[in-house]
Amino acid sequence: MKNKGRIFLIDDEELIVSMLARSLKKEGYETKTQTTVDDVVNRIAAWHPDLVLLDIHLEEDRDGLDILADIREEKIDTQVVMLTADDTAESAIKAMKLGAADYLTKPFNIDEVKIVIETILEKERLKDEVIYLRKAGSAHLGDTMVGQSPAMLKIIENAKKIAEAKAATVLITGESGTGKEVMARYIHNWRHLREADEENHVPFITVNCTALPENLIESELFGHVRGAFTDAKADQKGMFELADGGTILLDEIGDMRLDLQSKFLRVLEERKVRRLGGRVDLPVDVTVISTTNKDLTKAVADKEFREDLFFRLNLFAIEMPPLRERKEDISLLAEHFLIHFSQKYMKKNIKGFSPEAMKIITSYAWPGNVRELKNVIERIVVLENEDLIKPKHLAIGLTGEEPFASLNEAGLLTLPEEGISLDEVEKDLIRQALERTGGNQTKAAKLLNISYDTLRYQVKKYDLK
């Protein structure tokens, strides 16, 4: 079993530490136990645990809070979770002020202990990866996968395996805004973690298959030689050549036209490109990552996507779940983006979210997925000056325009005291439906339970693209 981390257990009750040690060892943790305070701080420093479970009430002249204070004073790099039989808030507040990551009240459930440990260690691993990738000179916070839900932890684990196996072709699917490009960058960074530095940059080239003009996409992908067409004044490398040694991301490959799909398939099979108008095949060593929000299985059935290309792409596939299916990650993502944008906009010092604001954030459906949440937090950081994000700030964030009705406990809209623009609510819901369906008006009309003609009228009325 893979070692999941090192846990130091300190409690004056032998029964408790032995029970915890047995349970945690079964989960794959390495443990060390102690029932006295003798030389405990030095022993923690020498063993380098990932996390310490520390009882508050140890000895009369020296309790767990004293040890926690010493751990922080000695700058020992470990997370500390306090154990207490005191169910009042006073001791917990003291522990948190001294830097405890969390606290558990006795008697506790062993499953609760495991969840707390896993959550804290996953956050620490996430921070370590960001630091490591920064040192490699190839990452920023936006390239970090954030998640503590079982679905995301499994996806991140699989992504690392794919990257470490140096898979040459990867397909990432999912709704718009779920983080497909972020996952692509994560795989790229993880694969080239030890290769990249400030002097040896590993290329990551992005090609938006829907944004390039149809008459230029072949030239952009494969390059061209001088005289290949009217404006070809000189030889030019294509995206595949520019990505040599690194990664090329083909965003929204489901929209690539059929005749180009056959040429792309040849590149995947032979790992060679031929410039437009050229006669020489040029070898390329490149990881090809493709993304799409389309159902490629249906596109194959509808003869809109080549079956052989789909099978080639689908060897290593990752499906990014929508945010509504990973609600455990919403609060973690919100905090992640708050830290990111507070650092980006240096003068901002927003410390966190009020409980009421976080309840709204975690209750909202987020039809625009992670991208929508990210945009909301960025707008708030830029526009607001208070040190705590409150529901009134989210009123602006969730639409980007007029104050929006908040969600009550039943998940239904509540009319604000100051009133609301019904047109704005209707416009926003139509926009969300179009975002969720990738602009497919037929599907958007079904989501809103209106006719296709009605939706077309509303799209035109509100000038929605």
Residue 111: partners with Cβ closer than 8 Å, 6 or more residues away: none
If residue 445 lies in a helix (H) or strand (E), which one and from where to where?
Answer: helix 441-448
Residue 459 CA to residue 185 CA, distance in Å, equals 34
Question: For residue range 66-97, what is the model confidence (pLDDT) as tens digits?
Answer: 999 999 888 888 899 998 887 666 777 888 88
Please, which residues bridge with residue 369 across strands? none
Cα dist. 422→227, 261, 352, 436 in Å?
58, 45, 31, 21
Contact in structure between 197 and 136 (CB atoms under 8 Å): yes
- pLDDT, tens only, 422-465: 777 788 888 888 888 888 888 888 888 888 878 888 888 888 86
CB atoms < 10 A from the CB of 465, how many? 6
CA distance 346 to 361: 24
Q: Average the pLDDT over each of 24-33, 396-405, 451-460 and give the range with the smallest value.
A: 396-405
Q: At what angle do helices 441-448 and 452-461 cross, to 10 degrees?
A: 100
pLDDT tens sequence across 253-276: 998 888 889 888 999 999 988 888
Confidence of residue 293 (pLDDT cuts 50, 70, 90): very high
Summarize the confidence of residues 352-378 as an average pLDDT.
89
pLDDT of residue 137: 42
Secondary structure of residue 396 in the 3-state scheme: helix
More confident residue, 224 or 346: 224
Residue 54 has pLDDT above 60, yes or no: yes
Task: Provide the whole-model pTM.
Answer: 0.59
Between CA 48 and CA 60, with CA 54 as vertex, the angle to 5 degrees is 125
The backbone torsions φ and ψ at residue 442, rounded to the nearest 5 degrees and listed phi first, read -65, -45
- Structural domains of the chain ordered from first start: 5-123 (3.40.50.2300), 141-319 (3.40.50.300), 323-420 (1.10.8.60)
Q: What is the residue whose two structure tokens read 């996968």?
A: 145
For the chain, the average pLDDT equals 83
Q: For residue 134, what pLDDT band results from cuts at 50, 70 and 90?
A: very low
Rounded CA separation 263/309 (Å): 10
Whether 47 and 30 have beta carbons less than 8 Å apart is answered as no
Over 60: is that where the pLDDT of 219 sits?
A: yes
Instruction: Categorize the per-residue pLDDT at 199 as very low, low, confident or very high, splitting at 50, 70 and 90.
Output: very low
Please, what is the end-to-end C-alpha distance for the chain in angstroms? 52
Q: Phi/psi zone of residue 53: left (φ > 0), alpha (ψ -120 to 50 degrees), beta?
A: beta
- Rounded Cα–Cα distance for residues 366 and 278 (Å): 48
